[in-house]
């Protein structure tokens, strides 16, 4: 079955739920949700529901959680809470942050956060860190 935007004459998506041609199609409403029922020559009846809103909400929630986690990582780095920062960077797959924080943990150094990553810190802080080396 194909979903078309008729005004643009464009196929938006293809769904392969039936093994053969679809010969019957009907719509029904259940619990305020529109559903579609199809029947095909493969002797199967399929019930379709539109999950677009739920999927969009899920993606939005994942983005918000990602932003909150990145803000938490920045806070941990500012506070030189290197152990927690390393764990969070690893979980977030922030490899560069994990590498630098791990190096600082291993060497036992506390430095202004992100000063060792060019372009990610204010010039004054980056210059201070560079002047010390």
pLDDT digits (tens, 9 = 90+) for 54-93: 889 999 999 999 999 999 998 998 888 888 898 899 999 9
Q: Are residues 66 and 103 in the same domain?
A: yes
Q: Are residues 100 and 72 in the same domain?
A: yes
Domain assignment present for 129: no
**How many domains would you assign to the chain?**
2
Q: Where does the chain show beta strands of DSSP type E?
A: 2-5, 10-14, 22-30, 33-40, 45-49
pLDDT for the residue numbered 122: 43
Under DSSP, is residue 49 helix (H, G, I), strand (E, B) or coil? strand
Q: Are residues 33 and 73 in the same domain?
A: no
Domain assignment present for 27: yes
pLDDT for the residue numbered 128: 43
Q: Are residues 68 and 104 in the same domain?
A: yes
Q: Could you tell me the residue range of the domain that residue 74 belongs to?
A: 54-113
Domain assignment present for 123: no
């Amino acid at each position: 079955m194909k979903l078309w935007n008729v005004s643009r004459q464009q196929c938006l998506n293809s769904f392969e739920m039936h093994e053969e041609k679809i010969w019957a199609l009907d719509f029904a409403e259940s619990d305020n949700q529109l559903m579609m029922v199809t029947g095909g020559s493969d002797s199967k009846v399929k019930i379709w529901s539109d999950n677009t809103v739920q999927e969009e909400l899920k993606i939005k929630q994942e983005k918000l959680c990602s932003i909150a986690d990145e803000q938490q990582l920045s806070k941990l780095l500012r506070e030189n809470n290197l152990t927690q920062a390393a764990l969070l960077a690893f979980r977030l797959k922030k490899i560069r942050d994990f590498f630098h924080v791990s190096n600082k943990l291993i060497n036992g150094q506390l430095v202004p956060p992100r000063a060792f990553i060019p372009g990610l810190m204010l010039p004054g802080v980056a210059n201070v860190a560079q002047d010390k080396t």
